[in-house]
Chain A
Amino acid sequence: MSVQPESITTVGILGAGRVGTAVARQALKAGYEVRIATAKPAQEISLLVDIITPGAAAVDAAEAAASDLVVVAVPLHKYRTLSPQLLAGRTVIDAMNYWAPTDGEVDDFENDPRTSSEIIQDFLPGARLVKTLNHIGYHELEEDDKAPGRPGRRALALAGDHDDAKAAVAGFLNRLGYDAVDAGSLVAGRAFQPGTEVFNGSHTSHQLQNLLAAACARVGV
């Protein structure tokens, strides 16, 4: 199954925190049909969605998961509340981070040498997971966007094991206002986790490519 970037019209967002609502507003601005779901019934978040992300629809998780693209933006330690069944076969952006100094230590991630996204992919075996949107601040996401080709356009890295899903996500990032740079398979996401130079800065696609190449060479992926 192949998903072309232009085939995405609906974006489902799981999580209505600072990241989820910022992605929702930016996706609305780019012209997508946006649905937001949390662990609560849709009616309980309808006021929140109407005021914080006007134009989006408050839905239940099943309806959000049935979108062309799903963005997971829940606190990482709640990842087990995600439904592997609902996300099977879906293109899913993992915008979450394991960031112990801020969010506290979580055994599942502290005691596993893999990146957080590899652990999430394991938990969601049927999902075509793409790690991205994790290394831009939620304020910046709505402020740093530029039209394609504009000088100094900011780039975002993506990593995943499914090429067609990555192509779809690259098209989505482009419409949000960012160049997309493919870092490689999901394990390459280590190069833009918290604490890395990529995570800490703002980069053009040329700068980002160089940083990712250097980081991947260092860890041998």
Chain B
Amino acid sequence: MEIGAYSFGDTQLNPDGSPRSTSEAVRNLFEGIVHADQAGLDYFGVGEHHTTSMPASSPGALIAAAAAATRQIKLGSAASIIGTDDPVRVFQQFATADAVSGGGRIEITAGRGSSAETFPLFGYDMTDYDQLYAEKLDLLMTINHHNSEYVTWSGSVRPTLDKLAVVPRPVNGQIPIWLATGGNAGSSARAGQLGLPISYGIIGGAPHRFAPLAQLYRATAAKAGHAGANIQVSVAALGLIAPTKKEALERFYPGWHNLNIEMGRLRGWPAPDRRAYLAQAEAPGAYYIGDPDEVAERIVHLHGYMGHMRHFLQTDIGGLPHEHFIESLTLLATEVKPRVERLLSAK
């Protein structure tokens, strides 16, 4: 199984709690990706976010930079908010990164987005959402599956493309396009219908309860006649690895708390509850926080339900000290990954 990480960028905090610069956060994220590559992680995803605490607004630009500075790691968006972006531009940016990387390491994950900020930012109307998402995903797939540079497409959300060049073409002909979902059954059915690989973002509740969704995805794909390497499942979740479980819990909590305070202010949530945090950090909760043994065992446990080919963790949230992020990436690559491989091969 592939083991990886993802991030939305994480603005660091000064000792007095004030935020440091968003440019530093992007630089830190870049260093994290380069480090993950050197440590041996299989995948790194950059998730489009547009907040001062999570400033990874431009996955394509960052991934192109990282493509030049890494050797083996797969790089992708996690996710690109495709409904409020231009699929032609998204494709061109990732195809450019693919060219820089030498080919075969770059992926796009298309997502609906879990918050509404891209709508006012890019001038879209939320009520058009389903139409925007469906058509733009279709355009992105059309460009990708085209066998030439010249693309023809028509729809209602943008002017028609009539034999227009969309370049560069990916080195291997196509870029893998994943569909991201937070657990809506219709999204699993949609990915299966389209024959796209699916990425489940599991940020709360018991992850194994997503098993029927993966089953629905595979059944829908089979019914639609899709089979082969494109029908696969990945799981994105929150987590942090430290030498001991106690350290892992202590390192992750302040950032988790900060993020929940920030989101609570926006969404009217109550103060975050340490008991809820601790409950989520134990099996069967959603957070993969612990020492390498525990996290590896929990990933393998979930694999029995989901059959996923990639498990990747978001660690740097709420101003997590950068060195703890780097150490978690190291442990994920050098301690968790071999344990997962050993446990899976013993099954």
Contacts and interface: CB of A to CB of B under 8 A. Distances in A.
Interface stretch (B52-60, B180-188, B239-247): B180-188
B127 interface: yes
A197 B116 contact: no
A196 B269 CA distance: 8
A51 B116 contact: no
Interface stretch (B20-28, B212-220, B296-304): B212-220
B184 A17 contact: yes
Contacts of B206: 139
Given A51-B215, A104-B126, 5 more contacts: A17-B184, A47-B216, A101-B267, A101-B268, A194-B268
A52 B213 CA distance: 7
A51 B213 CA distance: 8
Query: Closest 10 CB pairs between A and B?
Result: A195-B268, A104-B126, A104-B116, A139-B205, A200-B270, A51-B216, A101-B267, A52-B185, A101-B266, A48-B185
B182 to A, nearest CB: 8
A105 B185 contact: no
B185 A106 contact: no
A51 B223 CA distance: 14
B204 interface: yes
Interface string A43-78: 001011001100000000000000000000000010
A21 B213 CA distance: 11
B18 interface: no
Nearest to B192: A47
A199 B188 CA distance: 29
B116 A103 contact: yes
Interface of A: 16-18, 21, 38, 45, 47-48, 51-52, 77, 99-106, 139, 194-197, 199-201
A165 to B, nearest CB: 28
B116 A48 contact: no
A199 B186 CA distance: 26
B189 A47 contact: yes
Contacts of A47: 189, 216, 219-220, 223
Contacts of B266: 101
Contacts, number: 69
Contacts of B126: 77, 103-106
Interface string B185-225: 11011000000000000001110010011011001100100
Contact of A18 (B127, B184, B268): B184
Contact of A17 (B116, B127, B185): B185
B299 to A, nearest CB: 21
A47 B206 CA distance: 23
B268 A100 contact: no
Given A47-B189, A48-B189, A77-B126, A102 B116 contact: yes
Contact of B185 (A21, A101, A197): A21
Given A18-B184, A47-B223, A201 B204 contact: no
B153 interface: no
A16 B209 CA distance: 16
B150 interface: no
A199 B268 CA distance: 9
Nearest to A100: B116
